[in-house]
Amino acid sequence: MTWGELFAIQPFGNYMVTMKMTGAQIDQALEEQWLYQGTAVKMLQISGVSYGWSASAPLGSKVDPASIFVGGVPLDLAAVYTVTANNFLRMAATTSWSFKDATDKLIWGSDLDALVDLRRAAPAADHSAAAGPRDASAVGRDHGQS
């Protein structure tokens, strides 16, 4: 892929923010993704985290905290985790995103730089068009709906 093709995917110019969040804040952030949804479900894309959710549950109760796993280990609501997101999510003004309450924030490169670095780090065989799309579940984006 060329830089131009990656820019077409990620043209937003957001910066990456690494921060500390408690397990309870992560649980709350997963719940908050359903605020202002409208008719189409828009899921947060999260690597290294899996969880189950219920479409029929009321707002604030769609995710069972017991279903949240970080790196294959159950989420500890009291533990502190290192989280990276783009500044758009962290500063979302139309919601009460839990990202705003995170601590120890460190702002670094752009989201495009992170995507370019990720692509450069992929095995050479993965750079071919024949490799096809990458399987997002391979990086922990497993969101089970009940």
Residue 142 lies inside a defined structural domain of this protein: no
Q: What is the pLDDT of residue 124?
A: 56
Of 72, 83, 71, residue with least CA distance to 28: 83
Number of domains in the chain: 1
Full residue range of the structural domain in which residue 83 is found: 3-36+45-122
Residue 137 lies inside a defined structural domain of this protein: no
CA distance 29 to 9: 24
Residue 140 lies inside a defined structural domain of this protein: no
Residue 60 lies inside a defined structural domain of this protein: yes
Residue 31 lies inside a defined structural domain of this protein: yes
| Cα distance between the two ends of the chain | 37
Q: Domain holding 110: CATH number?
A: 3.90.780.10
Residue 145 lies inside a defined structural domain of this protein: no
CA distance 137 to 115: 17
Residue 11 lies inside a defined structural domain of this protein: yes
Enter the tokens of residue 89: 């999510």
Predicted confidence pLDDT, tens digits, the chain (146 residues): 777 777 787 767 788 888 999 999 999 988 888 877 767 777 777 888 999 999 889 988 999 999 999 999 999 999 999 998 877 765 554 455 677 788 898 888 777 777 777 777 776 555 454 455 555 444 444 445 54
Residue 144 lies inside a defined structural domain of this protein: no
Q: Is there a contact between 136 and 30 (Cβ–Cβ < 8 Å)? A: no
CA distance 86 to 107: 9
| Global confidence as pTM | 0.71
Of 146, 139, 114, residue with least CA distance to 50: 139
CA distance 93 to 90: 9
